[in-house]
Amino acid sequence: MPANDKNVVQHGDVNQRVGVEVIRARGVDVEKLIKMLIANAAAEFASTYYYYTILRMHLAGYEDYKEICEDARLEDRAHWELIVPRIYELGGELPNDLPAFHDQAGCAAAKLPSPPTVVNILTLLMESERCAIRSWSAVCDMTFGKDPRTYDMAARILNEEIEHEAWFIELLARERDGKIIPSGHFRRGEPGHAPYSKNAPFYNP
């Protein structure tokens, strides 16, 4: 391309990014991707991590359920930490207003259900994870073969969200229906271990 091509980052320019130039040239709608990542960041932090804290507190008397909810809660916080740098690398930024940020969330807030029974809480947790799976699958579809960095991040997060759904299906099936639907769940090395998003080894005593 000519050196003066408006689509090419010029020598010494700090206002444009080659990391954006190359994925735009591959067909990525960067502005749409930034909006999707901001919506997912809001869902992971404001709508999930915050409300999962409340939900965990209300799983009174179910310490095993609390532990699994805690894994999902802390892993969603790890997802937030992954997403934010990518938003800024793409030239985006987080809204400077928390209510506005919350309102952009790609998933509904996981508010404490009424009544806050264990079944209702587990149902809400399961459906929250399902929304996350759909949202991150859309990011993977948009970036596959075009934006390796965002795709890798989204795939790591998606792996854990799929695990989370399976965990809550197992618990809800047992608690509500008396059915055994194994998830393959095993204890993380520590709460919030996040083996995919943190690129950490799985628990192996």
pLDDT tens-digit profile of 87-103? 999 999 999 999 999 99
For residues 12 and 8, which has the higher predicted lDDT (pLDDT)? 8
| Ramachandran quadrant class, 39 (left: phi over 0; alpha: psi -120 to 50; beta: rest) | alpha
CATH code that applies to domain 28-177: 1.20.1260.10
Please name the residues in contact with 63: beta carbons below 8 A apart, sequence gap of 6 or more: none
CB 135 within 8 A of CB 43: yes
CA atoms within 13 Å, Cβ hemisphere of 204:
4
Q: What is the pTM of this model?
A: 0.89
pLDDT tens across 43-70, in order?
999 889 999 999 999 999 999 999 999 9
Where along the chain do its domains lie?
28-177
